[in-house]
Structure 1
Amino acid sequence: MGSYTERAVFVKHQRGAVTAVMNMSLFVLLLLSGLLCSASGLWREYQYINISMTWTQAQSYCRHRFTDLATVETMDDVNRMVYLVNETDGYRGLVWIGLQTSIQSNWVWSNGEENISYIPWYPGQPTIYRCASFLNYYWYSFHCGTTFPFACYNESTRYIRIYIWKNWTDAQSYCRRYYTDLATIHNSQEQQQIRAVVGDGFYWMGLYIEFWQWSDQWNLTFRNWEAGHPFISSGDCVAMSTIDSGKWVQDICYQMYNFICYGEDRLFQRQIVRLNFSNVENLNLNDPSLQTTILNKMNEKLKSAGLKFTYISWKMDLGGEVFHLNSKRAVNSSTTCDANVPLEN
């Protein structure tokens, strides 16, 4: 006999439904219950909406029902959104996220730093172009589609010379994949260090003009652009591909796409309940048919308790599994566990 811990089961019921307590004799021991949220306030619960709308319509929908169109801070956020779409309906295409062009623009570093006090522009620089390179001890602005070798950095070896000719966006992607990011230069000492590493010639670094803003006004500079974007394509809004590692493309705002919001659903109250199952018969609890049977029985209990508008589903991990063997916890097979789960509006 083994004890299996299920990662989470979603319990969601419509606001305004009858408050009730459900009693389930389904060999279930409730371990943890609570609202899905983040103590830091930075973790976002994403909501995939498989209805095609323009960017502006999607923004209004998200603000009415949730918080806003999706704001993205890390690659982990990107991966969670792609996984969410794939698990919901397998949609393959573009979905709107909350990034759009901004009226204001300013120079920032690729890694998100905005405090720039050391800027040794060559006389007459910068020009109208939005990406920065350096030659010896001076900085120059160039069209971001220009190809140069580039300098990356990481925390251990600091600056790394990459003698491969790429445009600025592709250079950024390369540095983020193999190191930390495109190089940052904060003072004349670091300028001398990077000059000693790369030698002569123009090299891309991480400085660029940020002219995008998030719908919820969060000041986050993380980007995951597709090659060639946003400097070649036209349009003032951003969509994410669900089939290309969540890459982003610049697009015309009146295109009709599905979209991703974030925030708690105002039409429903959602809870995550973590459960412990006593597997007396050594069944495969990750068998989808068995999981469906368990959910059906739990739904019957909810309906009999008066919660007719409640929906429950399993929460899978990135490997597609729901249950995990809990070898450290001994479970008495003769014990019947009843779970009393209060659901409030």
Structure 2
Amino acid sequence: MNVETVTSSSFIFVNDLKTWSEAQSYCREHYTDLASVRNRTENAQINKLAQYKPIWIGLYRDSWKCEAQSYCREHYTDLASVRNRTENAQINKLAQYKPIWIGLYRDSWKWSDGSPTSWMVPFIPPGNINNPCVCLHAGQWVNQRCDATFYFICEIVEVTQQLVRVKITNTGSSVNLEDAAEAMLQQFRQTLKERGLSDNMKLTWRKQPDGKIFHLEEKEEKKKENQEISCNLN
């Protein structure tokens, strides 16, 4: 697992009208990414740069989940909720081992660069699922259609990076670890937050050359010198 901690950041106002995805691509090509807002000081800096113009920032809503939710609400009632073991078995049977959306979610708002979203709760705009991208306008965070064109704020970020070895102990669970990877990251983030560690810390999985995150450990493999975190799956 990669652990990145932001050591310094600076913001750049780009006086060019682009859609959210175009702005994201531009910032990633020329700087680091679309701007993330990690605290009130950075929020004030970005507001000062914007000068009351509507600008894109890096906040967006998970569009795949939103599209599925929108479809279910239009044609049925909602995305599926699982209230007991019987319903869980029914949904598993329907899924036939395919990854599917259900109605359970944590925080579907995300920053383009993967920064934590815990601080920004008071600023989250109303949940219009048809407008999953966010711009800053006159000091307010406003969700907009992603194909609208605005000026935007890029960010240059300097980070320190540490590689942490994670050992997962499976106690008989049938959970597919690759499918559960994001949920485990959320668990680690919550644990770090509870221990008072910085919100400037970003956790990501490091994929192996074969594209997978996890591999079975050989019993005779020697211990590596990396820091090790154990996590039990119930």
The alignment's TM-score, normalised by the length of structure 1, stands at 0.30
Q: Flag the structure with higher strand content.
A: 1
The alignment's TM-score, normalised by the length of structure 2, stands at 0.44
Q: Flag the structure with higher helix content.
A: 2
